[in-house]
Amino acid sequence: MRDDLQPPGSEAEAQDPGWSWHLEHLSWPEVGRILAREPRLVFPVGALIQHGPHLPLATNTFIAEAVGREISRRRQILLAPTFRFGVNGPRAEMYAGSAGLQRKTLHRAMNELLAEWEGHGIKEFLILTAHRHESHLDALLMAMTSSARTTVVNLLTIHARDLLEASSAAEHGGELETSLMLHLAPSRVRTNQVADSKLDPSAHRRYLRGRVPTPPPGSRGVLGFPSRASAEKGKAIFNRYVQTLEEILGEEPSGSRKEGGSG
């Protein structure tokens, strides 16, 4: 970064291809100048949990991080480093590499981080996640601030049914998530390991609430139809997510708002 960089928000800075809105890339004076005109922060929260043999453990993280990065770039809003661990469902540990936090641990971490940033002048947080587990969402939705507005968006609840062949309500590593990964990180999708696994909606609800094993035996960790996925679908879903968030950010800050759900 140049010492003579013009204050953020200027036409020159907006046209600078090297400019980054990521906190990790900025100095504290640069962050301060941005906050003086745009006191909002995008905060992606991921998870490290299996998504079948064809997708990486960090699928949820890839999705939330990529959407957060794009919305930050488009709207010139600060982007926080991605919090890479979430709350996983029961027996997730049976799949090698999956690891998560307790709900109370994630909740406490969110509270502490938001309090630090609020003290620096953040007046609105946009927390993004792409993980359906209810305890994970509860921890985010219950995050507290002193006065800042907090909007929690579970990206997987944004309507995308019209872009898919099958319903995304009962899936894990299925058509929706596999399509997104084929668009965002195609080299990380093991297409030769794709296998479909159907689960009826009532059983899926029990699965989400931790009342059945994660996921049912014989599925290899997949719920849904990843064989129907495509990069074209993933691009359309990604654009839908970004468009929806732009609409949310277009609203005037007022009070505190929570958005989420189990999907």
Helix (H) or strand (E) holding 129: strand 124-129
Q: What is the pLDDT of residues 59-117, one digit of tens each?
A: 999 999 999 999 999 999 999 999 999 999 877 778 899 999 999 999 999 999 999 99
User: Comparing 113 with 2, which gets the higher pLDDT?
Assistant: 113
What percentage of the chain reaches a pLDDT higher than 90? 69
Q: What is the pTM of this model?
A: 0.86
User: From CA 33, how far away is CA 187, in angstroms rounded?
Assistant: 38
Contact between 204 and 170 (Cβ < 8 Å): yes
User: From CA 262, how far away is CA 244, in angstroms rounded?
Assistant: 18
Q: What confidence score (pLDDT) does residue 220 get? A: 84
Q: What confidence score (pLDDT) does residue 203 get? A: 65
Q: Evaluate if residue 3 carries a pLDDT over 60.
A: no
Q: What confidence score (pLDDT) does residue 59 get? A: 97
Domains of the chain by residue range: 21-156+164-248
Contact between 88 and 47 (Cβ < 8 Å): yes
* Concatenated DSSP letters of 137-186: HHHHHT---SS-EEEEEEGGGS--GGGSSS-STT-BSSHHHHHHHHHH-G
User: Comparing 221 with 33, which gets the higher pLDDT?
Assistant: 33
Question: By C-alpha distance, which of 47, 45, 44 is closest to 58?
Answer: 47
Angle between helical axes of 175-184 and 231-249 (0-180°, round to 10): 90
User: From CA 66, how far away is CA 71, in angstroms rounded?
Assistant: 9
For range 111-139, the mean pLDDT: 96
Average model confidence (pLDDT) across the chain = 86
Q: Evaluate if residue 206 carries a pLDDT over 90.
A: no
Question: By C-alpha distance, which of 207, 124, 211, 129 is closest to 172?
Answer: 207
Q: Evaluate if residue 162 carries a pLDDT over 70.
A: yes
Helix (H) or strand (E) holding 63: helix 59-75
Q: What confidence score (pLDDT) does residue 245 get? A: 97
Domain 21-156+164-248 has CATH 3.40.1360.10: no
Q: What is the pLDDT of residues 139-156, one digit of tens each?
A: 999 999 999 999 999 999
Q: What confidence score (pLDDT) does residue 91 get? A: 72
